[in-house]
Structure formats: C-alpha cells, structure tokens
Structure 1
Amino acid sequence: MRLGVNILNWNQADDTLKCVSSVRSWQITEKVVWVVDNASCAADRDRLVAGLDKETLLVSETNRGFAGGNNLAIQAALAAGCQYILLLNNDARISEENVNCLRQALNDDPRLGIVGPTLWDGRNPNRLLSAGGGDIGTAVSPHLTTPPAPDEIREVTYAPGTCALIRREIFERVGLLDETYFFGGEMADLCMRAREAGYTVAIVGGAKAFHTVDRSSEIRHWLHIYYVLRNRFLFVRKFHRRRQWRLFLFWTAQSGRPWLQAVLAGDWRRERAIRLAVWDGWRGRFGGQNRRVSRGEIA
C-alpha cells in the first residue's frame, strides 16, 4: 500500500533536510515524500530547495501553522492515492522497521484509524516523552508516560502528531486537520473525531520514534506556551460543550499560578503569552496569532 510521508518546515531547513535524509534511507518501494515550506524566510527556503531531490516541495506563502501546512501535504497524498499518511516532525526520527510496525498494525485491524509509536527523547534515548495522550480538554498533563508492552497495541485518546500514521479513510470520513488550532491540539481533535466515527486510536508498543525538541528559539517557546493553553479552550468548545463554562474556569484557574510566577520573576513575555491565551480562549479568538503574541497586543 502506498505510503505518503509529510514533513513540515518553518525556518529550520537544516533540521528538515536531516529528517528527509533519514526517510530517504527507507527501502519502502511505494513511498512518496512531501515537504511543506510554511512561509519560511527566503534564505531558509533556498537551502531547503537546494537539498531536496526526489521529494516534492509544497510552498505556502503564508504561515498556516501545523494543521494548515500539513493539510497541503495530506491533500496531495490523498490525490496521489496514498493509503496511509505519516505525519513526521522535522525534529523527529523513526526507522523503516518501526514504520513497518505501524503499517502492520493498520493492516491487521481495520478498526484502527490512527496509530503512533512511543516517543523517546532524541538527546536521552532512555527517557520516554509520550506513550499517547488523554483528553486535552480536561487533563492538566495529558501525555501518558507508561509505555505499552512491546507486543501491545494500546488504545489511547490521541496519538501525538510528532509521528503518527493515519489511514486515508479517516480524512475522507471526518475531514482534515482543523486549522483553527494553528499549532497544538489539532491531532487530539482529529483523533476525537475519528473515535466518534467508530475508529480506534492506539500506540503500538513495538514501534519507537525519537524526538529532539528545539530549545534554540525563544520565540517558539512563547508561542508554544500560548497555543497549548489557548487551544484547551477551543477543544472544550468543540467536545465538552455541556461543561464548557466550568472547564473555562478550570483552565483559567490552572493558568493563575504560572502567570503569577512569571510576574514575580519579571518574565513579561511568558506573562503575556499566558494572559493572551486565556483572554483569547474566553473570547473565541483562534487561528494563527504569532504576531500578536510576539508583540504583546491584546486588541
């Protein structure tokens, strides 16, 4: 069955090309690779173009976030007849053997719609980062950190988009990634819709991937703080409407301590990211807000 591999780039051409190089080493015959450039600067895009070979580059002139950028490649993969689509972060690595383990899980069980590997720290391979996740609308720490047994396929609420293999029927039945999230939460959303459609989401115990989180960009750090918190409100709006106001209060209260710590430490960019996240969550202001968070506007 044809496999589509989708890799997203935003001003990290060097990391993206390393990821592409890793994927090139796979001997999977029916494999098509799409690289999406999400409105990177000209110099970064030039490095990306120079380093690609048989991979297809899709260029977005605006930053469409994780969901929007991946949706470009997902649509291309569906049009190309791919039966399975692998979302792979440019800072994640997975071997051909582990990809085949994920494919086998989908082949063996038609009820499985989305599967992921256990995620381990690329800098410390013995440190487990995630074994799937719980409900991001209600759980403060949704990442599960107890790995399944090597021969176990464990059902979870969602599989992280860092590395996830998705059956094409999922997109055909429930739609693409929700671009309203922009960054963070869109995979939890997709998994929830897949589960509501009768599919199972699982982590395959016999498959591993490694994720090396970028710690070099201060701006990305503040954006991550903002989107993770704000998108809890969006997820609650979509899937917990009966408890919406109670959960809004819950997430506002949860943000109080880190906000106060930021104030006391004089960490005004962190304070601003948290404040804007709660403000926008209550007001229903979603989508991409990179410039507002970076500049600290609240209008």
Structure 2
Amino acid sequence: MYETEDIAVVILNWNGQDLLEIFLPSVLKYSGDAKIYVADNASTDKSVDFVRSYFPSVHVIQNSENGGYAKGYNDALQKVTEPLLCLLNSDIEVTNNWLNPIIDVFNADENTAIIQPKILDYKQKTHFEYAGAAGGFIDKYGYPYCRGRIFNAIEEDNSQYNDIKDIFWASGACLFIRNSVFKKLKGFDVSYFAHMEEIDLCWRAFNSNYTTKYVGTSTVYHIGGATLKNSSPKKTYLNFRNSLFTLVKNTDSNLFIRTIIRMLLDGIAGIRFVLQFKPQHFVAILKAHGSLYLNLGRLIKERKLLPNRSNYYNTNSIVWSYFIKKRRKF
C-alpha cells in the first residue's frame, strides 16, 4: 500500500525563479512526506541557487539542456526512484490534503496508471482552468477537450465534477503516473518539445490497456500560459503539429480518412484565424502540416510498433458539437 512517502513531486523549471518563489511554498506545506524535486532545464537565471538557498529540503536535478517539457522530464525522471510520480507545473498552487485522495485511488486499482486532480484557475478560483479542468477526452479526429472546458468555453465549478471517473487523458500541468508505467511506455515523445505530449502518453497507456482517472476530491490551482501564452503563434504551431503527430501514431485502422478530415478541419481553423486578422497563426497551422509531411515516415514506423484500440473517442466531432450545435458544456 502506497503512502505519501512513495510519491515524488517533480517540478520542471526553466528560468522560473519568480514562479518558484510563489508556488513552491504551498507544495512543501501540503505534501507531507512526499519527496520534492525541482528538475531544472538548464536555466540561465538564479533558479537553482534560489532553491538551494531557501528550500534546502528540495532535491535539485540539473538537466544539461532545455529539452522542453518532454525531454526535460524524460531526463530528470531517470534519477527518480519513488514508485509514484507527480509531474507538477511550476505555476500551480496545491491545497491541503491534495495527495491522499490520489494515493487512495492508486491503492484501490492496480490498473489505474495515471491520475489527474481537479484543476481550477488560480486567477479565478471559482472556475475550471483551461489545461485539464476536470479531466480530458478526445474526439474521433484527435481534438482534445475536457469536462469543464470545451475549446474556450470554461465552466464554473459548482461541485458538478467532485467525482472519481475514468478519463482519456490527464493534464501535464499536474499528472500522477506510476513510475513503472512511465518507464514501460518509454516516457514522453521528445519530438513534441512541449504541448500535447501528455495526451500522446495517455493514449499509449490506453492502447496498452491501462486506465487514466480523474480524482475530483483533490484540487490544485493553475495559472496557465505562464510559460507560453495562448496568443503565441509558436503555441499554435506546437498544438496543431503535436495533435496531428498523436493522431497518426495512435488512432485505429481508419488512419487515412481520419487524418484527411482532421487536416480539412485544421484548414477551416486557419481561415478563421485569417478572418480574425491573425495571419501568424494561419502560417503556424501551415507549418504544422508541413512538419507532419516531413515526419510522416517516422510516425508510421512508430505506429507499427504500438498497439491501437478503436473505441478511443468520446464523441464523433467536438468541432461539430461546439461550432454548429453550440455545445458549451461536457
């Protein structure tokens, strides 16, 4: 049976001293006997010195380069031996008793490999936060959405998701995973750099018959966009590119038709950006599609090495549901 001392809370940092100053104290205050790590992605600020000076109980892992979220965690977690891992963003405030409900679920179900708590908005604590909300799902064409957040429609938290439920993907903002499963799945796909890599990981876990759960009795607060703003064309590029990578690698036998329809839908999104006078985001989508073509051979090779299951999606098209049927809640 797991206890809090079996958890490693690993915070990936890159030039984030200001965030560590604000949020690391809550992690130390409310995490009991859990072992706290800061995995530093070759920061050029004073982050590492700050942690060592003011939080000597925190273990620092220094990566040799800034490999983004995916490689950063892959490199750092090779040095972590605790059986349960919590990958925690540096811009998250945790709450009293946040770990015990997670431990209880891991102890109750051996097949549960990944868990996400309730993620609320640090700036508006009555509402869910974009990156994860109350647990992630995916549609037929690889578009992700959440309970509590569909595209940019974010729900108020009225205790409607204070449950424990199977989900499809857990947010990388606060993702718990068994160390053995992380290693079995060979961690994150480092080609992603950042964004969507947790969905790829959860999809591979799903295809390997593991379960991902949402535990709404554990709550954290997330700023969101502290590293890369939603207005950034780079973020648009990474989200569209990595989503296509994930679909090609993991979807069922209807790969060709799903990918074609998905790319057409992306084209509509690109036109929408043009109409909104955001041409850089339109170009970002074009670059994302170009990157898919350049990497298609590698992705197909990886796909052949992975199992896949056909019943992965929760709805046929969340794009249709949101933009045509005006669905705004899960």
* TM exceeding 0.5: yes
Partner residue in 2 for 1:21:
25
Q: Does 1:260 align with 2:264?
A: no
Q: Secondary structure at the match of 2:138?
A: coil
Partner residue in 1 for 2:306:
none
Amino acid across the alignment from 2:32: I
Displacement after TM superposition at 1:148 (Å): 5.9
Q: Secondary structure at the match of 2:291?
A: helix
Displacement after TM superposition at 1:73 (Å): 2.9
Cα deviation digits, residues 64-115 of structure 1 (max 9, x gap): 111111123322222xxx1211111111122240221111111122221111
The whole-number CA distance in structure 2 between the counterparts of 1:111 and 1:189 is 18
Partner residue in 2 for 1:12:
16
Q: Does 1:168 align with 2:179?
A: yes
Find the partner of 2:208 among 187, 197, 201. Answer: 197
Displacement after TM superposition at 1:143 (Å): 2.0
Unaligned runs of 5+ in 2: 150-158, 300-330
The whole-number CA distance in structure 1 between the counterparts of 2:274 and 2:195 is 25
Q: Alignment identity in percent?
A: 23
Amino acid across the alignment from 1:54: S
TM-score scaled by length of structure 1: 0.83
Partner residue in 1 for 2:134:
131
The whole-number CA distance in structure 1 between the counterparts of 2:160 and 2:206 is 20
Q: Structure 1 residues 73, 263: CA separation in 2 closer, same or farther (over 3 Å shift)?
A: same
Contact 1:136–1:185 (CA<8 Å) still a contact in 2?
A: no
Q: Structure 1 residues 204, 164: CA separation in 2 closer, same or farther (over 3 Å shift)?
A: same
Unaligned runs of 5+ in 1: 288-299
**Which one has the bigger helix percentage?**
1
Q: Structure 1 residues 60, 168: CA separation in 2 closer, same or farther (over 3 Å shift)?
A: closer
The whole-number CA distance in structure 2 between the counterparts of 1:111 and 1:185 is 23
Larger mean CA deviation between 253-262 and 178-187 belongs to 253-262
Partner residue in 1 for 2:91:
91
The whole-number CA distance in structure 1 between the counterparts of 2:259 and 2:52 is 44
Partner residue in 2 for 1:58:
61
Contact 1:234–1:281 (CA<8 Å) still a contact in 2?
A: yes
Displacement after TM superposition at 1:169 (Å): 2.6
Larger mean CA deviation between 141-150 and 124-133 belongs to 141-150
Alignment of structure 1 residues 62-77 onto 2, 5 Å: 62-77=65-80
Q: Secondary structure at the match of 2:69?
A: helix
Partner residue in 1 for 2:308:
none
Displacement after TM superposition at 1:247 (Å): 2.8
Cα deviation digits, residues 35-73 of structure 1 (max 9, x gap): 122233345555555544221222223221111111233
Alignment of structure 1 residues 110-189 onto 2, 5 Å: 110-129=110-129, 130-135=133-138, 138-145=141-148, 149-150=161-162, 152-189=163-200
Q: Structure 1 residues 48, 223: CA separation in 2 closer, same or farther (over 3 Å shift)?
A: farther
Alignment of structure 1 residues 174-253 onto 2, 5 Å: 174-214=185-225, 221-240=232-251, 242-253=253-264
The whole-number CA distance in structure 2 between the counterparts of 1:191 and 1:265 is 33
The whole-number CA distance in structure 2 between the counterparts of 1:194 and 1:218 is 29
Q: Secondary structure at the match of 2:115?
A: strand
Q: Structure 1 residues 113, 37: CA separation in 2 closer, same or farther (over 3 Å shift)?
A: same
Partner residue in 2 for 1:290:
none
RMSD between superposed Cα atoms in Å:
2.7
Partner residue in 1 for 2:322:
none
Q: Secondary structure at the match of 1:17?
A: helix
Amino acid across the alignment from 1:57: V
Q: Secondary structure at the match of 2:66?
A: coil
The whole-number CA distance in structure 2 between the counterparts of 1:91 and 1:13 is 11
Q: Structure 1 residues 251, 11: CA separation in 2 closer, same or farther (over 3 Å shift)?
A: farther
Alignment of structure 1 residues 38-57 onto 2, 5 Å: 38-42=41-45, 47=50, 50-57=53-60
Contact 2:17–2:46 (CA<8 Å) still a contact in 1?
A: no
Contact 1:4–1:85 (CA<8 Å) still a contact in 2?
A: yes
